[in-house]
Amino acid sequence: MTNPVQTLTKSVTVNDNPFMKPVEWLSLFLLAGVILVVLPLMLDGFRLNLVGKYLTYAFVALGLVICWGYAGILSLGQGVFFGLGGYGMAMYLKLEASSIENTKIQSTPGIPDFMDWNQITALPWFWQPFKSLPLTIVLAVAVPVLFAMLISFAMFKRRVGGTYFAIITQAIAAILTILIVGQQGYTGGINGITDLRTLHGWDIRTDSAKFILYFVNGGLLIACILAAQYVKKSKLGRILVAMRDKEDRVRFSGYSVAGFKVFAFCFAAGLAAIGGAMFTLQVGFMSPSFVGIVPSIEMVIYAAVGGRLSLFGAVWGTLLVNWAKTSFSESFPDLWLFGLGALFIAVVLAFPNGLAGIWREHIEPRLTRRAKSLQAPEPAIVPPHGAPAE
Amino acid sequence: MNAAILPSPVVGAEAAPPDYLLAVEALTVSFDGFKAVNDVSFYVDPDEIRVIIGPNGAGKTTVLDLICGRTKASAGSIKYKGQELTKLSESAIVQAGVGRKFQTPSIYDDLTVFENLEISFPRGRSVFGALTFKRDAEVRDRIHAIAETIFLKDQLKERAEFLSHGQKQWLEIGMLLIQDPELLMLDEPVAGMSVGERIKTAELLNQIIKGRSVLVIEHDMKFVEDIAHRVTVLHQGKVLSEGSMDRVKNDPKVIEVYLGH
Amino acid sequence: MADDTETGADHGLRSPLRRRLLMGLAGAPALALMPRKAWAAPPTAAVNTTGLAVTDTEVTVGILHSITGTMAISETGAQEAEKLAIQQINDAGGVLGRKIKIIQEDGASDWPTFAEKAKKLLVNDHCAAVMGCWTSASRKAVLPVFEQYNGLLYYPTFYEGLEQSKNVFYTGQEATQQILAGLDWVHKEKGGDSFYFIGSDYIWPRTSNKIARKHVENVLKGKVVGEEYFPLGHTQFNSVINKIKLTKPKVIFADVVGGSNVAFYKQLKAAGIDLSKQVLMTISVTEDEIDGIGGENIAGAYACMKYFQSIDNENNKAFVAAFKKMWGEKTVIGDVTQAAYLGPFLWKMACEKAGSFDVDKVVAASPGIEFKGAPEGYVKIDENHHLWSKTRVGKAKTDGQFEIVYTSPELIKPDPFPKGYQ
Amino acid sequence: MLGDYSLGDLGAIFAMQGFAGLILFSVYLLMALGLAIIFGQMGVINMAHGEFMILGAYVTYLCSTFCQTYLPALFPIYFFIAMGLAFLASGALGMLVEWGLIRFLYKRPLDTLLATWGLSLILQQAYRSIFGAREVGVELPSWLIGSVQVTDTIEIPINGLFVMAVTILITVCVALLIFRSRFGQQVRAVMSNRAMAGAVGIDTEKVDRYTFGLGCGIAGIAGSAFTMIGSTGPTSGQLYIVDTFLIVVFGGAASLLGTIASAFSISQTQSTLEFFLSGSMAKVITLLAVVGILMLRPQGLFTLKVRR
């Protein structure tokens, strides 16, 4: 993780467990190339901003690959964490937009407009920390992760099964939505937190800001892919797979299963929260419609279409589904829901491993064969001197 | 090889009672009123090989389940090296030094043989530990050594799913070995094996049971006679008889319910 | 036809623009005489200085409503009315000699999609104006987009107020306009002095009820005996109906929306609350909603808004006939549908008054515009971008129509930031 | 808040409030019964349960329109016909779905969740295309409208009584079917040990199909009954899904008695809270309590301790 290049060289010589296989490096460069070079060159500012929005969902899909694909924990409440991250960021931006100067027509200047409409005369305590940007960045991720820990710890300790967990997370998404909508004086209600303007004085509404934010988002996404790859490649990743297959056996190898599940769930929650915060920055508002059941399940389908076991697949899946949604719903709004529904069914019935499965079964073998025929002479020349003596 | 499986210090058979490695006392568990294990007591010495036999439904597997924490006892105590196990979680019991092999091979199909063994390696068992675990030379050497012992040296990179039934059993034994438990519990280790595999397994077991206490459930009497120091006979959830194989074989109660037919 | 003192604020600053503006105006009378001849239209360069999608023959206008998703139910009528209005304008020669071309986008009941599509309509399609949005949430989502790219939005729904933007015209009523006259009426005619508020839990019912409460308590000197909110989509109202029975209010004041509406009225009726004896005033049920609720379940209730399909005037008769001809005999027309119908006409009149499609000029020309052909009778645009309009009270009948029992005598001035009601 | 009222008033209110709770209980139970069979017995997470209910509602709507137009004589009793047809329509669709989709997924319960979610989207869009995006109003025969005057102040809604009667009838039928009939025996056999049931000559595929169809059919009846108190639109079904799943899970998935107990406790809690708090908060607190209890006692209210 510290130095990918070093790891790469090692993999050729000694490491039988490289950080990434050559074909994975290829996928990474391909993805990074498309996100950071090709799309910005090809698309106008408007479309690029759209892609930026889609990519924030990819954070959620990445988390689901670890949590659902690897650990077998299906969460139907990822919208909760996406939303909490997004709301955290939105609260900071809203406070900055609600300067005394901007809100002087209100009966209480200096607080967000929706609070003023709801007769709230002082900033509530839980808004206070969001006056500070560093604190906001920490809290936007920490609060969702702690919340995830709270939910999952109790349940995994008591060995709640996969289906129950899915249903309970779904119920939590429903509860949080009702709460946010109902407590509009504190949360902005169903309209959400809107009219966000500047980040530490920097106007995020301009085209140039959106362009920069796109790259920040893309870069963060690549970093998160690498982090997820690290988790996946570590022994912890293998324990997650082991747990998904034979939970009892893992317990009898001396592991506390609950702890690992909590980690996977919290990791996914953290990624979703980062996605949510980036969403707010790029879209310019946050509303309860990203917290509820429907968006949460849609996020699962992104991961499923991409391939629930593939980090890169998750990103491609997210891009593909959203691209299809935007273009289909522009021309055939009716057909789109049929299409989306059919997509769910097709992925489950015919392609349980999604795009990544198709890639792995049909494209990768060819690439590997190709790569092997190119690399074949090398090991003969350089003997594996670092290999352990057997 | 020898470095891999260190023999534990030998303790005399005539050691005083507190030195029992495992002391099971008045152990009872009931499922909705049915007492699957009823007031069972027995003691295992360090280095002893104890075989539990008994007809189907006698409660043998349940006793192992109770010791390793898979089932919670309704009453009674299980002391391992003076430590009460009934209150510990499964993982804590394993970390205390108790290893368990299941009746049907219980391995991770989606992982390779190497990875199966690696997961069982007793290091990096915490979340953070697993995240920072490094596959260093010690781990590799140890896995290679174990793989050789369990006849799977050439299958290290294969997915466990594709092993034969016997190989899966060996792999699970290997996964136990790498934990290096002081108390090893085996549930029918040779069941469902071909004759050839059975011979190899017996050889393997004989090799690995040295230097640790072993609790075995087995039906194969020849095998039991070969390895057992002492035998406990369970019947309908209760201890029917206990002692050396010869004594048990000649116990009329045992003949009545078990060996007789 | 245009009174150019309206644009006086810009005089000194933009004399070149003003010259073009005057050139444009010169064409206007000719336009009125020979609407179908393209050469009569003012040159494109004159009427479009900011790069909008205007050609010599066409001007592009966006329609942005939900066609899919949960809001599609409500938004259908609005977009149908907008299309009808645009067709009528085109048949009469278009705007400044140019036919209106529609680009329709689906907001899909999803607020970021609204923002996204609004941006597309403004940035990619350069729409001269956009008719659209229904919920407050969607309007809040698109508002920054319209302000950033200086677009023009005509928003049709009656809403909670507390907003005023240079780039938006609100063709529905804001809350005080809709509610206060109705409350006064129910107080005077039905002796309403105690009220029970029940609404869906979101910003519009809460704000409306807040305004209603202030009015009841401070002006009418009555009291509010209960105030309840239920999550959107809630379908079980038996407990609250018991509470209503317990507190025996003179008036039930309801702003429940969507599917909850249906459940609420059905259960109210089933619980033996007879709306011919118990006064119920709603601000959320239009003819559209009655379709789903069933006329027999709500007959006798009073609704308070600016438009009912049964309004008896020539404008409305023509409108209803045209609407049914275009969209089918069975369609019903509610308050929002009519308000949406106003948008294209108000925009057309403002463009013609300004002699330009330029957003700034249209905005500047708008205040003071009067639309005498409105189905609701007569409306006028205020400085604050809302409409002056009358408020009416209708009594629901079993056939799904309202019998109008009260019409405010004068146009009521819109007041989105009402003093004393916040 | 109760201080200002006379004792008689209070008594009447408590009586009616008790009834409100009972009606809510019937509604919840009726929603959950079908799912208790599908999820509890078969382990299939049917996210399209609400859409099966709405199918029943639309069938009822069609019946009412048809009877009004062509057979006005039948109108007073059309509701019974409608319920039967709703059962058949939803049941048939359910069997079709089982055959085309669910049977491939018995070993992957979480995947049934995704697939049936997809199904629910398709059904919603189908309803929208066929019946229009707007809600449809189902007209009731006059005898179902209004209330029974018990005393001066106590009034009981007739349609509430009707829903309660339907619920009791369906519950009894389901209980008899599962615990007394040969089919129920087969269902229970298949659910406890599929291979063994197959070995003793039970056509497990057929049992699966009929069980799924039965669950969906009951959903159809529920939908039909709900036209009396709720709304019928393409997306109305989605509103019920969270509540329904929580009821089944809270009751202990495999237990019919548990489902009844859970529907009862949740409805009473919610109905009582609604009386003292605002509707939104009552809902939030009820859901939170259920989730909280499930976290502490994940097996639900009724389960047996068995050797795992």
What is the residue-wise DSSP string for chain D? --TTS-HHHHHHHHHHHHHHHHHHHHHHHHHHHHHIIIIIIH----TTHHHHHHHHHHHHHHHHHHHHHH-GGGGGGHHHHHHHHHHHHHHHHHHHHHHHTGGGGTT-HHHHHHHHHHHHHHHHHHHHHHH-SS-BPPPPPGGGSSEEE-SSS-EEEHHHHHHHHHHHHHHHHHHHHHHHSHHHHHHHHHHH-HHHHHHTT--HHHHHHHHHHHHHHHHHHHHHHHTTTS-B-TTGGGGGHHHHHHHHHHH-TT-HHHHHHHHHHHHHHHHHHHHHS-HHHHHHHHHHHHHHHHHH-TT-SS------
- For residue B179, the SS3 value is helix
**Starting at the edge strand that comes first in sequence, how are the strands of the sheet with B230-235 ordered?**
B98-101, B183-187, B213-217, B49-53, B230-235, B238-243
Task: Give the pLDDT score at B201.
Answer: 83
Q: Nearest-CA distance from A109 to chain C in Å?
A: 14
Calculate mean pLDDT across residues C88-103.
94
pLDDT of residue B258: 65
Decide if pLDDT at C38 tops 80: no
Contact D233 C292 (CB under 8 A): yes
D208: Cα separation from own chain's centroid? 20
Give yes or no for residue A330 having a pLDDT over 70: no
Q: Is the ipTM of this complex over 0.85?
A: no
- Name the DSSP letter for residue C254: E
Report the alpha-carbon distance of residue C50 to residue C33 in Å, rounded: 28
> Which of D24, D252, B107, B11 minimizes the C-alpha distance to C237?
D24
For A317, B251, D39, the CA distances from A77, given in Å and listed in that order, are 19, 62, 20
Run of H or E including B92 = helix B90-96
The sign of the dihedral angle between the CA atoms of A86, A87, A91, A92 is negative
Cα distance between residue C28 and residue A162, in whole Å: 71
* Residues of chain D above pLDDT 90, percent: 30
Amino acid at A311: L
> Could you give the number of structural domains in chain A?
1
Q: What share of chain C is helix, strand, coil (3-state, %, to 5)?
A: 45, 20, 35
Residue A376 confidence (pLDDT):
52
Name, in order, each residue with C-beta under 8 angstroms of A131's C-beta and a sequence gap of 6 or more: A92, A95
Tell me which chain A residues have a C-beta less than 8 angstroms from the C-beta of C229: 182
Confidence check: pLDDT of A223 > 90: yes
Q: How many CB atoms lie within 10 A of CB A376?
A: 9
pLDDT value at residue A325:
82
In a domain, A1, yes or no: no
C-alpha Rg value of chain A to the nearest Å: 23
Provide CB contacts within 8 A for B16, sequence distance 6+: none
> What CA dihedral angle connects A153, A158, A163 and A165, to 10 degrees?
-20
User: What's the CA gap between A53 and C291, in Å, rounded?
Assistant: 38
Q: Which two tokens stand for residue C58?
A: 């066409």
Whole-number pLDDT of residue C95: 94
Instruction: Answer whether D118 sits within 8 Å of A348, measured CB to CB.
Output: yes
Q: Which residues of D touch C266 (CB under 8 A)?
A: 159, 228-230
Domains located in chain B, CATH noted: 17-259 (3.40.50.300)
Tell me how far the alpha carbon of residue B20 is from its chain's centroid.
Answer: 17
> What letter would DSSP give residue C35?
T
Indicate yes or no: CB of D307 within 8 angstroms of CB of B32.
no
A388/B140 CB distance under 8 A:
yes
- Residue A390, in any domain of the structure: no
Share of chain A above pLDDT 90, in %: 47
Cα–Cα dist A81/A63, whole Å: 11
Buried b (16+ CB within 10 A) or exposed e, D64-96: beebeeeeeeebeebbebbbbbbbebbbebbbe
What are the two backbone dihedrals, phi and then psi, of residue B97, each rounded to the nearest 5 degrees?
120, 20
What torsion do the CA atoms of C256, C260, C261, C264 make, to the nearest 10 degrees? -100
Taking the Cβ of residue B95 and every Cβ of chain A, the question of whether any pair is shorter than 8 Å is answered with: yes
Q: Residue C95: beta bridge partners?
A: C98
Please give the average pLDDT of every successive group of 10 residues along chain B, which has 261 residues.
Answer: 41 52 90 84 89 85 89 89 88 89 84 91 87 88 90 89 87 89 87 80 81 86 82 88 86 74 49
**Token pair belonging to A303:** 């991961």
The strand order across the sheet containing B75-80 reads: B34-44, B22-31, B75-80, B83-84
Q: Are C323 and C333 in contact (CB under 8 A)?
A: yes
Report d(CA C81, CA C55) in Å as an integer: 25
Q: What is the pLDDT of residues B116-146, one digit of tens each?
A: 999 988 888 888 888 888 888 889 999 999 9
Output the six-digit token pair for C249: 């209010």
**A17 contacts chain B (CB < 8 A):** yes
Share above pLDDT 70 across residues of chain C, in percent, rounded to a whole number: 90
| Lookup result for tokens 């008896």 | C312
Q: What is the CA radius of gyration of chain D?
A: 20
* Joined tokens for residue D94: 């359910």
Higher pLDDT, A212 or D139: A212
Using only the alpha carbons of chain B, give its radius of gyration: 18
pLDDT at A40 over 60: yes
- B183–chain A Cβ distance below 8 A for any pair: no
Q: Is D36:D248 a contact under the CB 8 Å cutoff?
A: yes
Q: Kindly determine whether residue D121 and residue A337, on different chains, have CB atoms separated by under 8 Å.
A: yes
Tokens representing residue C130 in the block:
């956009």
- Residue A154 within a domain: yes
Cβ within 8 Å, pair D307-B36: yes
d(CA A179, CA C201): 10
Q: Are A228 and A62 in contact (CB under 8 A)?
A: yes
Q: Do at least 3 CB pairs under 8 Å connect D with C?
A: yes
- pLDDT bin (cut points 50, 70, 90) of residue C186 is very high
Identity of residue D90? S
Say if CB A303 and CB A294 are below 8 A apart. Answer: no
Q: Where does C4-173+312-388 sit in CATH, by number?
A: 3.40.50.2300
C230 in helix, strand or coil? Answer: strand
* Contact residues, chain C, for D23 at CB < 8 Å: 238
- Global pTM reads 0.85
* Secondary structure (3-state) at A255: coil
pLDDT tens digits, C154-178:
999 999 888 899 999 999 999 999 9
What is each CA distance from B75 to B37, B71, C135, D303, in whole angstroms?
Answer: 10, 12, 63, 22
CB atoms within 10 A of CB C400: 20
Residue type for position D148: V
Residues with Cβ within 8 Å of D191's Cβ and at least 6 positions away in sequence, in order, are: D41, D42, D254
Query: pLDDT exceeding 70 applies to what percent of chain A?
Result: 90
- Overall average pLDDT of the C62-81 stretch: 86
Q: Which residues contact B228 (CB under 8 A, 6 or more apart)?
A: B49, B50, B51, B216, B244, B245
CA B32 to chain D, closest CA, distance in angstroms equals 6
Range of the domain at A129: 21-376
Angle (nearest 5°) at CA B102 between B97 and B108: 95
Interface contact A167-D45, CB threshold 8 A:
yes
Superfamily of domain C175-305+392-407: Response regulator (3.40.50.2300)
Higher pLDDT, D1 or A17: A17
pLDDT band at A16 (very low <50, low <70, confident <90, very high): low
Can you give the pLDDT at residue C166? 94
Per the rule left: phi > 0, alpha: psi between -120 and 50, beta: everything else, D55 is alpha
Q: How far is D203 from chain C (nearest CA, A)?
A: 41
So where are chain C's domains? 4-173+312-388, 175-305+392-407
**Pair D30, D163: CB distance under 8 Å:** yes
Q: How far apart are the first and last CA of chain D?
A: 52
CB-based contact (8 Å) between A246 and chain B?
A: yes
Interface test with A, best of D281, D284, D301 (most A CBs within 10 A): D284
Nearest by Cα to D123 from D215, D62, D52, D32: D52
D62-90 residue pLDDT tens: 998 888 888 888 888 888 999 999 999 99
Residue A388 inside a domain? The answer is no
Q: What is the mean pLDDT of residues C387-411?
A: 94
Q: Do the chains D and A touch each other, judged by at least 3 C-beta pairs below 8 angstroms?
A: yes
Contacts of A67 (CB under 8 A, 6+ apart): A73, A75, A264, A265, A267, A268
Structure confidence at residue B220 (pLDDT): 79
Spatial separation of the C-alpha atoms in residues D90 and D52, rounded to whole Å: 6
- Chain D partners within 8 Å of B71 (Cβ): 307-308
Query: Any long-range contacts for A110-118 (C-beta under 8 Å, 24+ apart)?
Result: A112/A188, A112/A193, A113/A195, A113/C162, A114/A184, A114/A185, A114/A188, A114/A189, A114/A191, A114/A193, A114/C203, A115/A185, A115/A186, A116/C422, A117/C162, A117/C207, A117/C422, A118/A184, A118/A185, A118/C206
In percent, the amount of chain D with pLDDT more than 70 equals: 94
CB of A205 within 8 A of CB of C115?
A: no
Contacts of B141 in chain A (CB under 8 A): 388
Does D280 reach chain A within 8 Å, measured CB to CB? yes
Find the chain D residues whose C-beta atoms sit closer than 8 A to any C-beta of B: 304-308
Task: Give, in order, the Cα–Cα distances in Å from C56 to each of C29, C84, C347.
Answer: 18, 23, 19
Q: What CA–CA distance (Å, rounded) separates D219 from D214?
A: 9
**What CA–CA distance (Å, rounded) separates B133 from B232?**
41
